[in-house]
Structure formats: C-alpha cells, structure tokens
Amino acid sequence: MIIGAHLSIGRGYPAAARQAGRLGLNGFQYFTRNPRGGSVRSLPDAEIEKFKQEVQRQGLKVNAAHLPYTVNLGSVDERLQQFARLVLKEDLKRAAAVGTPLVVAHPGHYGEAGLERSLEQVAAVLKTSLKDAPAGPCLCLETMAGQGREIGGRLEELAYIIDLVGPEVKVGICLDSAHLFAAGWDMGSREGLDELVAAIRASFGWERVKMMHLNDSKTARGSRRDRHERIGQGEIGLAGIRAIVNHPLLGRLPLFLESPVDDYKQYQQEAQLVREQVRGNKNENSAPNRGL
C-alpha cells in the first residue's frame, strides 16, 4: 500500500521528504506554489539533487504535486486563462525536474458563459499547455463535490473534457473520496464502490485513474459540499474507508491524506489506522485475508 499525506515544502523539498519518512509515510503530496497565490521561488539544482536523494533514503514510492487553487482552467477571462497556462507549463516543468510523476489540478469553475463553454475552455487550456510538456509528469484532473459552479462534480464533465483534449495529450484522473461522496456516490460499501468503478470505466476509462485523495467527509452523501474530515470521524466512516482500501482497484491506487489535522503527527496516526483496515494486515487478525 502506498499511503502519503499533504505536506508543506515551505522549508524546502528535501525537508518535506524527510518529514514524510519520519511520519512513517511512503509518499507525500505538496502544493507547487502558494495555494492562494501565484508567485514561486526558483529551485536550485543542488536542492533538486538533495530531494531526489532524500526520496530514495526515506523509501518514498510516489510523490504528487497539487496546483494552487487560484488556477481556474475553466475561466473564459483571458487574464485568468493566461495565468492558468503559465502555471501549468511552469509547474509541470518543475515536477519533471524533481521527479514528481503526478500533478493534480482542480478543473475550475464556470461563469456566466455556462458550463459547456467552460468545459471547452478547460480542454483548450490543457491542449495548448500540455502539448509540449516535458515527459514524465501526468496532469490529473480531480473529481469534485460539485458545489456551486464547480466543474468536475459529475464524471460526465471530466469525460467530456478528456474527449475534447484528444489522445495526443496525456490527462489522468485523481479521485477524491470525500468529493465523490458529497457528489452522491456511495463510498461506504463494496457495492457502491463497484458501481463507481463501472461508471468510471463507461465514461473515461479506469486506465485514466492514477491516484486518490483519501478523506472522510463532514457532510452527508449528496450534499455537494466539499468539507474534509479526519479518517473514520465523518459520514463515510471507518467502515467506508475499510471498503475503499480493500477494493481490488481503489485499494491499489496511491492514497494521499488531506485530513484537517492540527499537527502533521496526526497523519502518522491516520496512516496507521488506514493500514490496519487492510484485510490480511498482521495488525488486524479479525478480518479474513483476501490477498489484496
């Protein structure tokens, strides 16, 4: 099982990798730049090399980058489009330099022009920005809760974007358990998860799915409100988390915690709790081993 958490790179990339190792994680996610801003510092070659060495030393299997929330891929405003294209190009280039294979982006929001126009705009930005992107990183659109004018609350919206982008540009998908639950999917049972997987296969294909944000939800199923909760303390519940990590497809994805913790040490506790839900784990003797 690959399980990481969202950590800060404020003290540098190598420090974040060391912190992930100290927390007992074998992966981590980070913001490519300030999540509420647009500026980014230059990255010295020496820091890149130290980061790669630290990733190896700590036994980190996967790290993922997350674009800032200020990027709105669906905006029809030319200034915001330019900013989105700039961030995509710069941050994919930086991800390639440091060896980050997955880069996550929220699809954005639509305005007065309407949903369909904004979906077309997302595809247009991706086509122009990713056409000459460096080899390595895969840009992953995240499934969203669908609150307000948010894009990505329905699988069909992401499928439409991917279809417009076409096969020449690599686009993946990042699932989010809390977002999917808030969007109406049953994340608490094997039957519900199988239904989700079947819908994914029918829309954009399972091969597009590269990772999952593993979060509980403060809000009820179908609320369309994006409110993360700590593992086992929300509406999905520990039984739901257990169903996810033991699912033959979902449980094999790299999983990244984004819980509202007060201290990163709580991620260590949450990661251990998640591991204990896996059937066959030596720490959970009461569950049968299904070989997952």
The first and second tokens of residue 67, run together, are 């674009």
Q: Are 208 and 173 in contact (CB under 8 A)?
A: yes
Minimum mean pLDDT range among 25-39, 65-79, 88-102, 180-194: 25-39
Which CATH superfamily does the domain covering 3-276 fall into? Answer: Divalent-metal-dependent TIM barrel enzymes (3.20.20.150)
Q: Are 255 and 212 in contact (CB under 8 A)?
A: yes
The first and second tokens of residue 170, run together, are 């690599």
The model's confidence at residue 290, banded by pLDDT at 50, 70 and 90, is very low
Domain boundaries, the chain: 3-276
pLDDT at 35: 78
Report the chain's mean pLDDT, rounded to a whole number.
93
Statement: residue 292 has pLDDT above 50? no
pLDDT at 281: 66
pLDDT at 30: 97
Mean pLDDT value across residues 65-75: 95
Strand pairing report for 255-257 and 209-214? parallel
Separation between Cα atoms, residue 249 and residue 244, nearest integer Å: 9
With a pLDDT cut of 90, the percent of the chain lying above it is 88
pTM of the predicted model, to two decimals? Answer: 0.94
